């Protein structure tokens, strides 16, 4: 094992050259963070194979991995994400929580959009990226999954429900916006399909909707606190398929980075924290994640 505090003169010269050429370095601090285990995998000169090997090398040394997934992990299952070019959400922005509560017309738009979304989610199956995470679980390297998705595909792939923190809830159940009473989503959908316009809670009369978190709605502490705990106790943080533009999910990698642990990002488009990652791979998760996991022993 080389001495991690020794930084060669050659390394420093190369670093300065990249700084001049406009690249940002790992953790914004080239000298402090130029450790032999830290690869410059987000720099374009590395081949995809090298990036995959770098990611596998970091994962190989981790035994308490926290994974944060976003809508991007499910696009290969046929569910569009939110921010990719061409996403249907760009022409049809989601109804926010305040509008849902205060505006009958917004609630109609909500139910109309949900009908299309429910059909997509109902047809979707886990893809190779979801299954690769199950392999990681079987290797006993996974501390847990934090997902922004409400599609239930991690559980369908084989994770126990208690291993998946659904930050933004689930679209498989319905919930009352007033008392929190839960019911089956398919039952509620049947009421809508039968012509009910504004389905209300049988217990308190509050508006019912899917048990997901709308923009403007608070992520409950029952999900956020365990997610923060995972981020502050894991030994590697892996982001898959998230633009990291939605809070509080976007702050979780920063909680992990306070302890100087490795960060790996697998996302089709660059994120605003790629420069903080030890390895960044801008490719499809379903194509690269199985290749990374296959390298682990
Ligand atoms: P986002 O749409 O903001 O970002 C998704 C990211 O995934 C993009 O940066 C894109 O480049 C990347 N991506 C797309 N396909 C990919 C692939 N095959 N492999 C790797 N990366 C890929 O999504 P977000 O960060 O999760 O935030 C959006 C919000 O919308 C979340 O709150 C989420 O709850 C919600 N949402 C969920 C679903 C779902 O449950 N499947 C679908 C749409 C939106």
Alpha helices in 21-123 (DSSP H): 30-33, 48-60, 88-91, 97-102, 104-123
What is the model's pLDDT at position 12? 36
Q: Please give the DSSP secondary-structure letter assigned to residue 57.
A: H
Q: Tell whether the model's pLDDT for residue 85 goes beyond 90.
A: no
- Find the mean pLDDT for residues 214-239: 97
Sorting pLDDT into bands at 50, 70 and 90, what band is 44? Answer: low
User: How many domains does one find in the chain?
Assistant: 2
14 inside domain: no
42 inside domain: yes
296 in the same domain as 243: yes
287 in the same domain as 226: yes
142 in the same domain as 47: yes
The protein residue whose alpha carbon is closest to atom 30 in ligand 1 is 82
174 in the same domain as 102: yes
284 in the same domain as 149: yes
The rounded distance, in Å, linking the Cα atoms of 133 and 179 is 35
Q: For residues 103 and 5, which has the higher predicted lDDT (pLDDT)? A: 103
The rounded distance, in Å, linking the Cα atoms of 170 and 187 is 15
Q: Tell whether the model's pLDDT for residue 76 goes beyond 80.
A: yes
141 in the same domain as 178: no
The protein residue whose alpha carbon is closest to atom 19 in ligand 1 is 284
Catalytic residues: 168
What is the model's pLDDT at position 19? 34
The pairing of strands 169-176 and 142-147 is unpaired
Rounded to the nearest angstrom, the distance between the alpha carbon of 148 and the centre of ligand 1 is 8
Instruction: State which of 48, 68, 72, 167 you would mutate to test the pocket of ligand 1, scoring each by most atoms of that ligand within 8 A of its C-beta.
Output: 72
6 inside domain: no
The tokens 């106790």 sit on which residue? 233
Q: Tell whether the model's pLDDT for residue 5 goes beyond 60.
A: no
Region at 54 (left for phi over 0; alpha for psi -120 to 50; beta for the rest): alpha
15 inside domain: no
User: Which residue, 91, 84, 82, 156, is CA-closest to 123?
Assistant: 156
Please answer whether residues 264 and 238 qualify as being in contact, where contact means their C-beta atoms are separated by less than 8 angstroms: yes
| Residue range(s) defining the domain that contains residue 256 | 23-79+126-168+219-297
**What mean pLDDT value characterizes the chain?**
86
55 in the same domain as 33: yes
68 in the same domain as 131: yes
Contact 70 CB / ligand 1 (< 6 Å): yes
156 inside domain: yes
What is the model's pLDDT at position 254? 98
Contact 149 CB / ligand 1 (< 6 Å): yes
Rounded to the nearest angstrom, the distance between the alpha carbon of 241 and the centre of ligand 1 is 6
Q: Among 147, 177, 212, which residue terminates a domain? A: 212
Sorting pLDDT into bands at 50, 70 and 90, what band is 25? Answer: very low
The rounded distance, in Å, linking the Cα atoms of 174 and 172 is 7
Which CATH number do you get for residue 194?
3.30.1600.10
164 in the same domain as 239: yes
159 inside domain: yes
Instruction: Give the distance, in angstroms, between the CA of residue 28 and the centroid of all CA atoms in the same chain.
Output: 23
12 inside domain: no
Alpha helices in 234-284 (DSSP H): 252-257
Which CATH number do you get for residue 131?
3.40.50.1220
- Find the mean pLDDT for residues 276-294: 97
Q: Among 180, 212, 244, which residue terminates a domain? A: 212
158 in the same domain as 63: yes
Contact 79 CB / ligand 1 (< 6 Å): yes
Of the candidate ranges 79-93, 144-158, 189-203, 224-238, the one whose mean pLDDT is the lowest: 79-93
Residues 6+ apart with CB under 8 A from 8: none
């Amino acid at each position: 094992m080389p001495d991690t505090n020794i930084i060669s003169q050659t390394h420093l010269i190369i670093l300065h050259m990249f700084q001049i050429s406009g690249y940002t370095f790992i953790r914004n601090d080239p000298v402090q963070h130029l450790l032999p285990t830290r690869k410059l995998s987000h720099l374009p000169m590395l081949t995809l194979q090298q990036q995959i090997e770098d990611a596998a090398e970091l994962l190989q040394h981790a035994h308490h991995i926290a994974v944060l997934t976003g809508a991007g992990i499910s696009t290969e299952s046929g569910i569009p994400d939110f921010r990719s070019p061409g996403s249907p959400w760009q022409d049809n922005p989601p109804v926010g929580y305040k509008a849902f509560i205060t505006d009958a017309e917004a609630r109609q738009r909500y139910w109309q959009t949900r009908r299309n979304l429910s059909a997509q989610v109902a047809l979707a199956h886990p893809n190779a990226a979801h299954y690769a995470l199950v392999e990681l679980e079987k290797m006993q390297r996974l501390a847990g999954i934090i997902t922004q998705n409400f599609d239930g595909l991690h559980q369908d792939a084989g994770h126990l429900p208690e291993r998946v923190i659904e930050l933004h809830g689930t679209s498989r159940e319905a919930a009352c916006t007033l008392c929190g009473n839960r019911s089956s989503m398919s039952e509620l959908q049947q009421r809508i399909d039968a012509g009910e316009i504004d389905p209300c809670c049988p217990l308190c009369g509050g508006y019912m909707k899917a048990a997901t978190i709308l923009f403007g709605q608070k992520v409950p502490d029952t999900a956020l606190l365990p997610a923060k705990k995972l981020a502050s106790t894991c030994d590697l943080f892996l982001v898959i398929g998230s633009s990291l533009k939605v809070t509080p999910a976007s702050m979780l990698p920063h909680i992990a980075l306070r302890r100087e642990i490795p960060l790996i990002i697998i996302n089709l488009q660059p994120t605003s924290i790629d420069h903080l990652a030890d390895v960044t791979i801008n490719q499809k998760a379903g194509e690269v994640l199985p290749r990374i996991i296959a390298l682990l022993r």
